[in-house]
Amino acid sequence: MIKTPYYLIDKSKLLRNMEKIAYVREHSGAKALLALKCFATWSVFDLMSQYMDGTTSSSLNEVKLGKLKFGGETHAYSVAYADDEIEEVLAHSDKIIFNSIGQLERFDAASAGQVRGLRLNPGVSSSEFLIADPSRPFSRLGEWDAAKVEQVLDRISGFMIHNNCENSDFALFDQMLGQIEEKFGPLLAQPRISWVSLGGGIHFTGEGYPLDRFCARLKAFAERYGVQLYLEPGEAAITLSTSLEVTVLDTLYNGKQLAIVDSSIEAHMLDLLIYRQPAKMDPCDGPHQYMVCGKSCLAGDIFGEFRFDHELKVGDRLSFIDAAGYTMVKKNWFNGVSMPAIAVRQLDGSVELVREFGFDDFVNSLS
């Protein structure tokens, strides 16, 4: 048995998402780029690269990772590029997307030979959380004034518009795409504009999502404006593919039954702490309810409350599901809690331990 804690990526579950992405590519004409900001565990890129067209990034490090480990198209985006990194960004990307007209003008000469795009902000989004809302008041994410954008059309050939966030509602996606067309339609219809990325956050691999209606909407949009569409699935690419495997270290009672495990929500599932959401575990309707807690010193290091069909004891193993998106990329060394290893269940059912982290990794992450 692999020593806990560890992330377990199941390729058979990952494949289900890849097949839905392939279906959308085929029936809509859209290309699909993996959003590395959500998931960047390159040990499974061998499978994912067979079903996706490349990667999109949010930093120089992600650009290089996508180019070197995934292949295909490599789109570079960043909220702001620094002078000392732009040359390397350009060398490792096929397209560069600037967040603002200011950045486009600042790096105009350096990027003149590159396919260039600009991020647009339509002012609407599906986010329920202000912290993740790209269209929040005073947002720094993209240009919103169509008149200003029109003045730099001669320097770009495409746009990126990312305003979906965990959006599993096709009707809402359709409505917001209509609002984008209403606000930016004249820009999209310009002859120079040959590609448009609709970003990520569209949960089209979820159960029951109307894929055919989605494909038809994408195809109609692409044909109306004469553009190559791109999608940037992150969570949609890896949803329900990965678990965080942990072991119970202690149990106690303090008004509720508590179980402490060898992991930490702040260190290993940080997004759940940020958004005040519980971890997920396969449903169990047993009579024994426990609050499962992490081992860090943070008082609120709590995975959630779960029911079990037996009393938990030291040594029991628990499995938190859906633990890949915005989780593995955010893991950290808080409290020096052991970093989870990474294991992959191959398509033949065998489990391979692909990476462990030890004291040297902890030391080398500091100074």
Which of 277, 260, 258 has the alpha carbon at shortest distance from 327?
277
Q: How would you classify residue 169: left for phi > 0, otherwise alpha for psi between -120 and 50, otherwise beta?
A: beta
Q: And the tokens for 264? A: 């930490």
- Please tell me whether residue 295 adopts helix, strand or coil conformation: coil
Angle at the Cα of 73 (from 69 to 76), degrees rounded to 5? Answer: 85
Q: How far apart are CA 327 and CA 109, in angstroms?
A: 38
Q: Is 19 annotated as a binding residue?
A: no
Residue type, 321: I
Number of H helices, E strands in the chain: 12, 17
Question: Is 235 labeled as ligand-binding?
Answer: yes
- Per the DSSP assignment, residues forming a β-bridge with 10 are 345
Q: By the 8 A CB rule, do 264 and 331 touch?
A: no
Angle between helices 11-28 and 211-225 (to 10 degrees): 40
Which residues are known binding-site members for substrate? 235, 271
Which residues are known binding-site members? 235, 271
